[in-house]
Chains A and B, each alone.
Chain A
Amino acid sequence: MDQTNPQTYIIDNADDQTFKLNRSALVEPAVFELEQRRIFDVCWIYLGHESEITEPGDFKTRNVCGRPVIFARDSAGELRAFLNSCRHRGAAVCRLTEGNADNYSCFYHGWIYDRDGNLKTVPGAESYGPAFDKADFALGEVPKFDSYRGFCFVNFNADAEPLEDYLAGATEYIDLVVDQSPSGKMQVIEGTQEYDIAANWKLLVENSFDDYHLLSTHSTWLGYLKDAGVEMKPPEKGHLLPSHGICRNLGNGHATTDNVNFRGRPVARWIPIYGEDAKEEIDEIRAELVTRMGEKRATRIADTNRNLVVFPNLVLNDGSSITIRTFHPISASRMRVTAWALGPAEESKSALARRLDSFLTFYGPGGFATPDDVEALEMVQAGLQSWREVTWSDISRGMNKDGEQLNTDELHLRTFWRRWSQYMEGAIS
């Protein structure tokens, strides 16, 4: 095989237990172009959370898969995904990032649409012929829109399978997040973290649930926890980390880690960083969870942390806090990351403050860990410039074992790459 023009991007060899990725997949502009059509135009892509817009007319404008999208509540309060482009010449009809719209109006020539996307006003309408009908000029919409337990997705393929089928086993892990709310309602907290990483977007997929890097990349964060009195046991035999953790293939390219928690959780496991004052409330949150869900389910929710990747570009980190993180490629070597914090809608003021504080110890562009992840990914991308000479990356960890795959193995990364490769090679579409 010509290594610089691969027919396939991965070598997946069960016989000698190796998995190799052709680095051109992370570098070449042609791959980036092809991904737009073969991945982002056919997969379910995260748009936003229902809690972000609550009243008729509420909207957020987002860029999704390169398209300008208005995530909106229409006049009946239904969730919609309009394409933010006037049907006349194309200019944006909504120029704010968020707000409540009486209507959507294009300032260029003055066409005005109502909250439901219907074209209502065309200045000088008498200059159009009889074939011109405003009913033919409603705002475009993303072909498919659906939500699962508050998480809203779009699909640019009108023939896409239903969202819930697509999510496959990922629903179990979304449920573990949403079930933390007594009412089953989660709330995106105000404040958006939006930053670029000079790296291929797929490197952040890997990084978001790769626990192999934790010890070496995040030793200063682990040191911070230790200084704060957080108990960290020596790893079990065969493990690298202070608690038992596995990874799982959830089908359709989705995968997760699933770790016994040692780092503290707002719902509901106290660690010294939260302060003595927080103990009582965390006990109460725990008790509510046990009453509502039973001991077994409560333990499952509160005593594990999980990093879930919903193929291709949604990450739910349910660890020190809950992060919704999505990212879109800008080019083969650059991405835009958007991240939010999520918590139970009815969380008390003190619990919310604790959740946000806990979030910032690890996550985000000013956290004690994420900046080092960003640095790692940018170092990788710089190194990949030698891909013509050093062509293959290795993603084989754990292939030598039957049964349980650890969080520091790489089954979850292979799960993503196998699915990605199938889409890119046209095996699925």
Chain B
Amino acid sequence: MRAVIVDDHPVVREGLCSLLSRAGVEVVGQAQGGSRALRLIRDLQPDVAVVDVALPGLSGIELCRRIRRRLPQVKVVLISMFDEPAWRAEAGRAGAAAYLLKGDPPERIVDAVLRAARGEVLLPRTGGVPPLTPREQEVVRLIAEGKKLSEIARILCRSPATVRAHKASAMRKLSVHSTTGLVRAALELGLVRVPEVPRA
């Protein structure tokens, strides 16, 4: 059984690599994310790709969607810092076989990767209807990360006009009238999240 690991934290890649190797899975490649990850997966054709949800630039969910569209034989297991129902539902729609948490016990992570590689689907394929389309969520998330429309257009391989249209449509649906309002709504919807830091 062969796996590729995609995460922008080297220490997480190391941890996943260690856990999977011990379970007899051959980790054939690692990437930090983005189009390099997609190329690596295309070249190596692993049974399963373990992909972080919160990658910089191209999100893990979008990467999953592209892997599943172009290389349907490669199973994708998404792994996240957060147990976010909206992301879990989105992961299912993007064709992921499982949605795991970085806080999960190692046995659960290993078990899910093995089962996914064998073709099991551990996620429901449907979820609640989100207020925004996946593309709109992606655009809003990137805006909330501070990306400019031109950068977002490049990341998503769409024209700036299309991105602007997604943004306008998202603002209409969320009844906000400024970019700041949009970012705040994105935070409230859980499209973008940072863990709370208990302050001294």
Q: Do A and B bind each other?
A: no
